Amino acid sequence: MAKLFIIPTPVGNLEDMTLRAVRILKEADYVLAEDTRTSSVLFKKYDINTRLVAHHKFNEHRTVEDIAERIAAGSNVALISDAGTPGISDPGFLLVRTCVARGIDVECLPGATALIPALVNSGLPCDRFCFEGFLPQKKGRQTRIAQLAGEERTMVFYESPYRLVKTLTQLSEVFGADRPACVSRELSKLHEENRRGTLAELAAHYTAHEPRGEIVLIVAGKQ
């Protein structure tokens, strides 16, 4: 029976692909990609010649039903994003939900994602944690931060380098300046950095040293 395969791709180092992921990408009838130009680099490295079709947040609402129809008719389709596991702060949820609702098999492979290495690297408790993804940029931002002030589990956020100092400063004001945290940048890449300290210390550091690259922010829960 045909199915939808969710394929994690490396968050940085292209060697983090699994053998199974490469095999399925080669065997699929076609591959849905967030950005076909980005995915072409990965495909070239692993000699994958399967057809790439663009599937991103700007067209997914229009295309999910057609894709589900194709799978139901017998096409094996793989979904990848630019980096990490599709559906985790990336396109994918709508297609998975549509396929599940229609009784179409969905299989997600284990593999690369930024949040777990950052969490483990932080040195903060990782037996219980909550993943918050990106905080709202404007509407609802302060409300969400206030709601998290009493969270006792370790918190995981994704953040843009352009908003990191703002986020660290706001969290420091609400959670307390001495709340432990860790900023992980460029995971698995040449210039990977895991900087630990209090929210106030990290805000001061990145005010003086402009951050670059993909960022995961880990913040200790309330004690």
pLDDT of residue 49: 98
In tens, the pLDDT along 78-99 reads 999 999 999 998 889 999 999 9
For tokens 């509407």, name the residue.
139
The model's pTM is: 0.91
The whole-angstrom separation of Cα 18 and Cα 75 is 23
Regarding the domain delimited by 3-108, which CATH topology (the fold level of the hierarchy) does it fall under? Answer: Cobalt-precorrin-4 Transmethylase; domain 1 (3.40.1010)
Q: What per-residue confidence (pLDDT) applies to 58?
A: 87
28 vs 135: CA distance, rounded Å: 35
State the burial class of residue 91 (Cβ atoms within 10 Å of its Cβ: 0-12, 13-18, 19+): buried
Q: Tell me, what's the pLDDT at 89?
A: 87
- Domain ranges in the chain are 3-108, 115-219
pLDDT of residue 102: 95
Q: Which class is 115-219 in CATH?
A: alpha beta
pLDDT digits (tens, 9 = 90+) for 192-217: 999 999 999 999 999 999 999 999 99
pLDDT at 120 over 90: yes
- Judged against a pLDDT cut of 80, whether residue 1 lies above it is answered with no
**What pLDDT band is residue 42 in, cutting at 50, 70 and 90?**
very high
Cα–Cα distance measured from residue 95 to residue 102, given in angstroms and rounded to the nearest whole number:
11
- 135-148 burial, b for 16+ CB within 10 Å, e for fewer? beeeeeeeeebeeb
**Structure tokens given for 119:** 């969490």
- Rounded to the nearest angstrom, the gap between the alpha carbon of residue 14 and the centroid of all alpha carbons in its chain is 16
pLDDT digits (tens, 9 = 90+) for 59-73: 888 999 999 999 999
